[in-house]
Chain A
Amino acid sequence: MSAPSLRVLLAPRLLAARTALRRSRAKVAILTLVTAAFWSGSFVFFERTLSYFQTITALGPMLTQRLLVMLFVSFFAVLVISNVVTALTTFYLAPEVRLLLAAPIPSRRVHDARFIETTVASSWMVLLFGLPAFLAYGVVYHAGPLFYLGTVATLVPFLLIPAAIGVLVTTALVLAFPARRARDVLVVATVALAAIGYLTLRLVRPERLASPSDLAGFAAFLAAFEAPAAWYLPTTWAAEVLIPLLGARPGEPLFYFALLALTAFVLYLASASVVQRIFLTAWSRAQEGRTRARRAPLLGRVLPRLTRPLPRIPALLLAKDVTVFFRDASQWSQLLLLGALVVVYVYNFSVLPIDDGTPLAATLRDVVAFCNLGLAAFVTASVAVRFVYPSVSLEGRAWWVLRSAPVSIATLWWSKFLVAFLPLTVLGEVLIVVTNRYLGVAAGLTLVFMATLLFVIAAIVSLGLAFGAAYPRLDSNNAAQIATGFGGVIYMVTCLGLIAGVIAIEAWPVARLFWQRVGASPLAPIERTLVAIAFGIAFVLTATVTEVGRRSALRSLAALQP
């Protein structure tokens, strides 16, 4: 009897993907459209940027080449993190590993199958984000077919290197910690890195680079990217293959390609060799559970007291959800991103040039103040997609506990609604108040914004529960993963549509109130009525969306099967 081939080992994933594609054609069509739109937008952005750089005589070529290195550096960093996280699942946490271990399959072949799966699962992002950029380079430089062939050839070892590093790091992690703890460590580290990266990028104030007078800063910015272009990094080798093929400058593409390919091969062999020798030991270690919990954990003691003022069912659900939230690293780590988002949001307003007394500054302040309503609503929707939308899915297979209890679906909905609505309202309203203070917006107008936002948040939460119940992923216990699914994307698009609708309805009345404030033109009685009607329409729209969302959620929740 011969051992099963790689094709047999990869068949379950391929067949599952094929079935998913066949079953949900509408979903595939929408995703294809979204991807095509993203690719087109991304291509246009890179093409314009690179073309613009080419017009800067002295710095242009250096900038485009530096940008290519930066692209490879960013991709490589994300690929290493992504591969480590994916390898943990594919090698040590996936339930089918047990089956593979029990089957008469050489461990080398198990490694190869899992390695391919890890690489593919981790690298789709590079294809999605990278291809339009590489294509734009080819178009701007009028590159020949050799560049495109070279890009494909370079990407293969470029993707294999982080995959091998991912498997090796994961195996070391699993030997050091139990798999569940290792996953928590990875999740928190990844989210913290993303939050720090986001904060750093914003706080260095890249907008200063647009100022032609700030050449010193510009030079410093370029210099900052000298370090990652070190000769010993695969990112530099990859760029050194493509830059000569673009015809940007002479180089030794074959040498750097050989370096890249050889490194990928050696790392792959190292990964295979390590896994072959210690896979069973590492996998056995990965099965160990957490250490024992302390007696009467703090959350369990404190939460029932804190939730006592609430009605029974919302209090129970709140206590349960908060407890689970703070014990699940994939959930609480999202707070790091949220914190970064809020800091950057408020910081953006603090650095706006609105105090120089010029008419332009006053206009800018008014425009920004108006946009602030939409921006605060957008931030709230971004938070909702990570916290409200997954809340139904996170009930998981334990959904039967709530459904078989003597609690109506309507009560469950209200509980989930309140649990999400209250903190989101506090967040949104605080953002509006703080940023409007920076902008010097009148108290009356701030109150109008706060009232509008209150209704918008109610609609956002209601939509979150509706989409969350319509696209449940009861098998997934990763909130971030749930949020990035198809339903999450549709939910976010719907929220953006709602926010745009409310802003469009309130644009004229808010503009009139601004003008009245600066004394340009007082409101006529008929205008007062029209302003009131416009606000009324906005409230009716949000209230209607809230109710439609509620009804849709109730239907989906009633049909939801654990």
Chain B
Amino acid sequence: MIRCVALRKTYGSVVAVDDLDLEIAAGEVFGFIGPNGAGKTTTIKMMVGILSPTSGTVILGDYDIREAPEAAKAMTGYVPDQPALYDKLTGIEFLRFVGGLYGVATDVLEERCNDLLEEFGLVDRAFELIETYSHGMKQRLTVAAALVHRPRILILDEPMVGMDPQGGLALRRLLSALAASGVTIFLSTHSLAVAEELCDRIAVLDGGRIVVVGSLAELRERAAERPDLEPFDSSLEAVFLSLTGTTGGRV
């Protein structure tokens, strides 16, 4: 459902993403983890078509994001790392606007917006300007907007940041339910617990390159081959630190 083919992005002499190849099946929850500056957000921006790759491409469903961007975007929902929204719109106006951009029919849009506001606990604040929302509320509204057109692919960049524990739990449940219904989920996260709980497979990105990709069990096997991993420490955190060559000593 998602295929990155030799995806590369350079800024002058700096290589942000280095010939990245990935293949993610329909209905899969795919975790994307890596240290700060590893190239996760850059990769995601190229996947959703808001950043042009230096070379390579991304195929979403049957559509190449470079050759048929509108068709590829129509089947995708995107949650960026920063919930920057139109502050002078109300929550419900924003959902209607996004639904309109994706061509959701007017008669179904209203009902869908109300359902999403209900589901994300924003119904009481639906008619208030977004500028009055907290960071967590904006984050929830962004996720709701990503779902308003019922996408087949959902790409999320750090969606849990700023959410309260209830919001985080509700989102994890929602993602599981969406995956069960066949939606492909690409999830970039710093929360290793979230990745461990939700993801079928995980890719570890470091320095713009994929260090390893596989299920949690496969990642543990790979990490166990490294001498610096404690024998009984098989948490994803230890695996991650080992695979990215860090020991957790830096801030």
Minimum C-beta distance from B204 to chain A (A): 25
B residues near A402, Cβ cutoff 8 Å: 101
Is A30 interfacial (CB 8 A cutoff)?
no
A residues near B102, Cβ cutoff 8 Å: 405-406
User: Is there contact, CB below 8 Å, between A407 and B70?
Assistant: yes
Contact indicator per residue, chain B 80-95, by CB within 8 Å of chain A (1) or not (0): 1010111111101100
User: Is there contact, CB below 8 Å, between A320 and B97?
Assistant: yes
For window 43-76 of B, CB contacts with A under 8 Å fall at: 48-52, 69-74, 76
B residues near A211, Cβ cutoff 8 Å: none
Q: Flag the segment in B123-131, B208-216, B223-231, B233-241 that touches A.
A: B123-131
User: Is there contact, CB below 8 Å, between A403 and B128?
Assistant: no
For window 288-320 of A, CB contacts with B under 8 Å fall at: 289-290, 292-297, 300, 312-313, 316, 319-320
A residues near B131, Cβ cutoff 8 Å: 180, 289-290
Is A55 interfacial (CB 8 A cutoff)?
no
User: Is there contact, CB below 8 Å, between B88 and A316?
Assistant: no
User: Is there contact, CB below 8 Å, between B101 and A316?
Assistant: yes
Is B100 interfacial (CB 8 A cutoff)?
yes
User: Is there contact, CB below 8 Å, between B80 and A293?
Assistant: no
Chain A residue with Cβ nearest B77: A404
| Residue among B50, B73, B103 facing the most chain A CB atoms (10 A cut-off) | B50
User: Is there contact, CB below 8 Å, between A406 and B128?
Assistant: no
User: Is there contact, CB below 8 Å, between A405 and B98?
Assistant: yes
| Residue among A312, A313, A403 facing the most chain B CB atoms (10 A cut-off) | A403
Minimum C-beta distance from A283 to chain B (A): 18
Is B132 interfacial (CB 8 A cutoff)?
yes
CA distance A189 to B234 in the complex (A): 64
Chain A residue with Cβ nearest B124: A292
Q: Contacts A292-B128, A562-B84: A324 and B78 contacting too (C-beta < 8 A)?
A: no
CA distance A274 to B151 in the complex (A): 56
Is A103 interfacial (CB 8 A cutoff)?
no
A residues near B76, Cβ cutoff 8 Å: 404
Contact of A290 among B48, B72, B97, B129 (CB under 8 A): B129
Q: Contacts A407-B70, A562-B84: A401 and B101 contacting too (C-beta < 8 A)?
A: yes
Contact indicator per residue, chain A 317-347, by CB within 8 Å of chain B (1) or not (0): 0011001100110000000000000000000
A residues near B98, Cβ cutoff 8 Å: 401, 405
For window 388-408 of A, CB contacts with B under 8 Å fall at: 396-398, 400-408
A residues near B88, Cβ cutoff 8 Å: 323-324, 327-328
Is A558 interfacial (CB 8 A cutoff)?
yes
User: Is there contact, CB below 8 Å, between B93 and A406?
Assistant: no
Q: Contacts A323-B88, A401-B98: A293 and B127 contacting too (C-beta < 8 A)?
A: yes
Minimum C-beta distance from B19 to chain A (A): 22
Is A561 interfacial (CB 8 A cutoff)?
yes
User: Is there contact, CB below 8 Å, between A293 and B103?
Assistant: no
CA distance A323 to B86 in the complex (A): 11
Is A556 interfacial (CB 8 A cutoff)?
no
User: Is there contact, CB below 8 Å, between B74 and A401?
Assistant: no
Is A477 interfacial (CB 8 A cutoff)?
yes
Minimum C-beta distance from A235 to chain B (A): 39
User: Is there contact, CB below 8 Å, between B128 and A404?
Assistant: no
A residues near B52, Cβ cutoff 8 Å: 558-559
CA distance A400 to B84 in the complex (A): 8
Minimum C-beta distance from A207 to chain B (A): 42
CA distance A294 to B84 in the complex (A): 23
Chain B residue with Cβ nearest A290: B132
Contact indicator per residue, chain A 151-188, by CB within 8 Å of chain B (1) or not (0): 00000000000000000000000000000100000000
Q: Contacts A289-B131, A297-B90, A316-B97: A404 and B73 contacting too (C-beta < 8 A)?
A: yes
Chain B residue with Cβ nearest A180: B131
Minimum C-beta distance from B12 to chain A (A): 15
Contact indicator per residue, chain B 109-147, by CB within 8 Å of chain A (1) or not (0): 000000000000000000111011000000000000100
Q: Contacts A405-B102, A406-B102: A398 and B84 contacting too (C-beta < 8 A)?
A: yes
User: Is there contact, CB below 8 Å, between B71 and A406?
Assistant: yes
A residues near B82, Cβ cutoff 8 Å: 397
Contact of A401 among B70, B86, B87, B103 (CB under 8 A): B86
B residues near A408, Cβ cutoff 8 Å: 69-70
Chain B residue with Cβ nearest A477: B87
Contact of B90 among A300, A313, A405 (CB under 8 A): A300
Chain A residue with Cβ nearest B78: A404
Contact of A406 among B70, B87, B129 (CB under 8 A): B70
User: Is there contact, CB below 8 Å, between A295 and B127?
Assistant: yes
User: Is there contact, CB below 8 Å, between B89 and A320?
Assistant: yes
User: Is there contact, CB below 8 Å, between B48 and A401?
Assistant: no
User: Is there contact, CB below 8 Å, between B48 and A397?
Assistant: no
CA distance A406 to B50 in the complex (A): 11
Minimum C-beta distance from B151 to chain A (A): 11
A residues near B49, Cβ cutoff 8 Å: 403-404
Chain B residue with Cβ nearest A295: B127
Contact indicator per residue, chain A 261-294, by CB within 8 Å of chain B (1) or not (0): 0000000000000000000000000000110111
Chain A residue with Cβ nearest B133: A289
CA distance A56 to B80 in the complex (A): 69
Minimum C-beta distance from B17 to chain A (A): 15
Chain B residue with Cβ nearest A411: B70
| Residue among B71, B76, B84 facing the most chain A CB atoms (10 A cut-off) | B84
Minimum C-beta distance from B66 to chain A (A): 12
Chain B residue with Cβ nearest A320: B97
Minimum C-beta distance from B116 to chain A (A): 16
A residues near B87, Cβ cutoff 8 Å: 477
Minimum C-beta distance from B246 to chain A (A): 29
Minimum C-beta distance from B154 to chain A (A): 12
CA distance A290 to B78 in the complex (A): 29
Q: Contacts A289-B132, A398-B84, A405-B98: A323 and B73 contacting too (C-beta < 8 A)?
A: no
A residues near B132, Cβ cutoff 8 Å: 289-290, 292
User: Is there contact, CB below 8 Å, between B103 and A312?
Assistant: yes
CA distance A319 to B100 in the complex (A): 11
User: Is there contact, CB below 8 Å, between A323 and B127?
Assistant: no
CA distance A293 to B127 in the complex (A): 6
B residues near A562, Cβ cutoff 8 Å: 50, 80, 84
User: Is there contact, CB below 8 Å, between B85 and A401?
Assistant: yes
B residues near A397, Cβ cutoff 8 Å: 82, 84
Would you give 11 A-B contacts (Cβ < 8 Å), ordered by A?
Answer: A293-B127, A313-B101, A316-B97, A320-B89, A320-B93, A404-B73, A405-B73, A406-B70, A406-B71, A406-B74, A407-B70
New contact pairs (20) apart from A293-B128, A396-B84, CB-CB < 8 Å: A289-B132, A293-B90, A297-B127, A316-B101, A320-B86, A320-B93, A323-B93, A398-B84, A401-B86, A401-B98, A404-B48, A404-B49, A404-B50, A404-B80, A406-B70, A406-B71, A406-B74, A406-B102, A407-B70, A558-B52
Chain A to chain B: the 6 pairs with minimum beta-carbon distance, closest first = A397-B84, A406-B74, A405-B101, A406-B73, A403-B50, A327-B88
